[in-house]
């Protein structure tokens, strides 16, 4: 997600991408945003949607956040490979 988004949009995207298998609670999501912002991985700003509706807090990833994301993706690949090896070994 390269465009700034507000919490409900992110929550909806998670629900859709997981085919309703993972539904994140608002308190969990906003706690995560707070931690990410505190660490400099996202920044927030007030804004209104294209239709000019109510004011919302939008979040966008920072360059530091992109680096962190890429690092975590590499870590996930290693973890995934290890788990897949255990699964294959168990199947033998």
- pLDDT tens by residue, 42-51: 999 998 766 7
| Cα separation, 24 vs 12, whole angstroms | 9
Work out the average pLDDT over 41-65: 89
Among candidate residues 33, 43, 45, 40, the one with its CA nearest the CA of residue 7:
33
pLDDT above 80: residue 12: yes
| Confidence label for 89 from pLDDT (cuts 50, 70 and 90) | confident
**How far is residue 70 CA from its own chain's centroid?**
12
| Confidence label for 35 from pLDDT (cuts 50, 70 and 90) | very high
What's the pLDDT at 92?
64
Q: At what angle do helices 26-38 and 7-17 cross, to 10 degrees?
A: 110
| Cα separation, 47 vs 60, whole angstroms | 12
pLDDT above 90: residue 3: no
pLDDT above 70: residue 80: yes
| Cα separation, 87 vs 41, whole angstroms | 34
């Amino acid at each position: 997600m390269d465009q700034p988004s507000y919490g409900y949009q992110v929550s909806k995207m998670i629900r859709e991408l997981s085919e309703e298998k993972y539904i994140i609670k608002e308190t969990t999501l906003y706690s995560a945003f707070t931690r990410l912002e505190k660490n400099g991985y996202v920044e927030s700003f007030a804004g209104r949607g294209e239709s000019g509706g109510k004011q919302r807090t939008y979040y966008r990833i920072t360059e530091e956040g992109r680096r962190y994301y890429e690092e975590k993706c590499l870590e996930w690949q290693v973890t995934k490979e290890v788990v897949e090896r255990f699964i294959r070994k168990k199947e033998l």
